[in-house]
Structure 1
Amino acid sequence: MNTARTVLKFSFAAPLALALAACGGGADGELESDAIEAIAAPDGTNWGETVTVSDEDGYILGNPDAPLKLIEYASHTCGACANFSQTGKPSIKEYVATGVVSFEQRNLVRDPIDLTIATLVRCGADANVQALSDQAWGNFNEIMGAAQANGAQLEIANELPGDQRLGEFARITGLTEFFAARGLSRAQQSACLADVETIETIRTNSSTQAEELNILATPTFILNGRKLDVNQWRDLEPILQRAGARSE
């Protein structure tokens, strides 16, 4: 079997048709606690710039030992995720700065463009993953519009060998130019988008975790192991506060 030719193929029709829809929520369960005192970062550091990679291949912003661990399963082609990135993420960073809350971003891969962006945001430094993701979500309509407008070209590109496919997706949708303008050279991008093993790991982690945790939609939020039945910041923030979080 030619692995480079056979892995990572998707159908474009259904996922991209759903890309502009709100994408759902999770289960139930909340935590109750008195206010938790702020936790100082180690000397010379601050929690807002501290990034670690979890065992589940998520990117944790903040204190990795925070008493409140918030996880988001997100898709780069989910309109509700884009909305949360713009409306909730700035406030999340205020909670992260206290050391009481950490925020971990994990992938739930929905379609080829999602996988392409997930690969590109990981292409540079770990510290830049969430920032690049937020910038991509901030340009959600432009990116998805390009994908929708070039569906026929994307279907053709979908037949390319696996080590060429995502690079062509990026070119067709303007993602190559988008990320080049944000510090990822074309050579970096080409290498990352041809790394079939790493790309397949992203997709496999997504599908395995979705099955194990029953993640059915994006964004799905998990707080200290409990799935939350919310997908907007206005509903999530009160849960964090009842759990003991306070922003500075």
Structure 2
Amino acid sequence: MSQRNRTARFFVLLGLTGLILIGLLSGCSGAATPEVIPTPTWPSQTPEGDPVKGSPDAPVTITEYSEYQCPFCSRFVQETLPLIEENYIATGKVRLIFRNFPVHQQAVVAAGAAVCAQGQDEFWQMHDTLFAQQGEWSGNPDFLELFEGYAQDMGLDTDQFTSCLNVGEWLDKVKKDFEAGREAGVQGTPSFLINNQLVVGAQPFEVFQEVIEEELAK
């Protein structure tokens, strides 16, 4: 792709993301490949279309509000999420719902990449890749080509993926997530609603464990 075409695509997508980035409350509150924890086969999204991990019958629901350009969000994914998966999601006690709360322009498009991958049943693989490779694409002017390369590496239909990203229909999902976060009192990322308890920041596993156990005891 020529430099002119890459530049044109970049500014078209930035124009699409402008509505989300106006009036944001605040910004973001290292990246190795996350450990993959085997879990039983459960639905990969809720009836409302939110990506989800865990049993639909789990007594505790964690709703995560996150963005792909946030280093603290990446820390949660790399360090804390594997422990939550092992101890609570895999055992059917917790389900995790992911929602987008982007506060940077590239993060909005990254959210679109994950939504487009979700259309091919590969949301979580793209989610993990975007966080693992955050240092590669964040701030890189060629981030769109990198996203397309990630899609190709994971075996997605790249024509379908690129078309989805360019058309921008994913913006409706991202805006819906963001608005839900603001209604829930989210002001920065990462933030988590554990049932009705709000936990803010990339807290250590022990903080999540305490709140989860409190909810399980109810």
TM-score grouping bracket, smaller chain normalisation: 0.7 to 0.9
Deviation at 1:7, TM superposition (A): 5.8
Higher Cα Rg, which structure? 1
Residue 2 (structure 2) pairs with residue 10 (structure 1): no
What residue number does 1:130 align with? 124
What amino acid sits opposite 1:73 in the alignment?
A: Y
**Map of 2:185 onto structure 1:** 214
In structure 1, distance between residues paired with 2:49 and 2:116: 14
Instruction: For 1:78, give the aligned amino acid.
Output: C
Match of 1:100 among 73, 90, 93: 93
Classify 1:210/1:124 alpha carbon distance in 2 versus 1 (closer, same or farther; 3 Å).
Answer: closer
TM-score of the aligned structures, taking structure 2 as reference length: 0.74
Tell me what 2:162 maps to: 190
Pair 1:91-2:83 in alignment: yes
Aligned match of 1:143: 137
Cα 1:10–1:169 shift into 2, 3 Å: farther
Distance change in 2, residues 1:58/1:233 (3 Å)? farther
> What corresponds to 1:237 in structure 2?
209
Deviations 1:113-171 (A, max 9, x none): 2122222222245653123201210111111142xxx3xxxxxxxxxxxxxxxxx8613
RMSD: 3.1
Shift of 1:52: 4.0
Cα 1:74/1:9, change in 2 over 3 Å: closer
Higher relative contact order, chain-length normalized (CA < 8 Å, sep 6+) = 1
Aligned match of 2:72 in 80, 85, 108? 80
2: CA distance between counterparts of 1:241 and 1:6?
42
Residue of structure 1 aligned with 2:110, choices 86, 103, 117: 117
**Alpha-carbon deviation of 1:47?**
5.1
Change (3 A) 1:121 1:244: same
CA distance in 1 between partners of 2:110 and 2:135 (Å): 14
- Residues 117 and 151 in structure 2, CA contact (< 8 A), matched pair in contact too: no
Q: CA deviation at 1:213?
A: 1.2
Structure 1 consecutive aligned stretches of length 4 or more whose deviation exceeds 4 Å? 4-7
Q: 1:200 maps to what in 2?
A: 171
Q: Describe the shift of the 1:137–1:118 C-alpha distance in structure 2 as closer, same or farther (beyond 3 A).
A: same
1:48–1:97 CA contact under 8 A, matched in 2: yes
TM-superposed deviation, 1:205: 0.5
Displacement after TM superposition at 1:224 (Å):
0.8
* CA deviation after TM superposition for structure 1 residue 78, in Å: 0.7
* Secondary structure in structure 2 of the residue aligned to 1:194: helix
Look up the SS of the partner of 1:53 in the other structure.
coil
Aligned match of 2:51 in 59, 75, 81? 59
Q: List runs of 5+ in structure 2 lacking aligned partners.
A: 1-11, 20-25, 30-37
Relative to the length of structure 1, the TM-score reads 0.66
Q: How many pairs align?
A: 191
Identity %, equivalent residues: 22
Change in CA separation of 1:83 and 1:123 when aligned onto 2, cut-off 3 Å: same
- Counterpart position of 2:9: none
Contact 2:137 2:143 in 1 (8 A): no
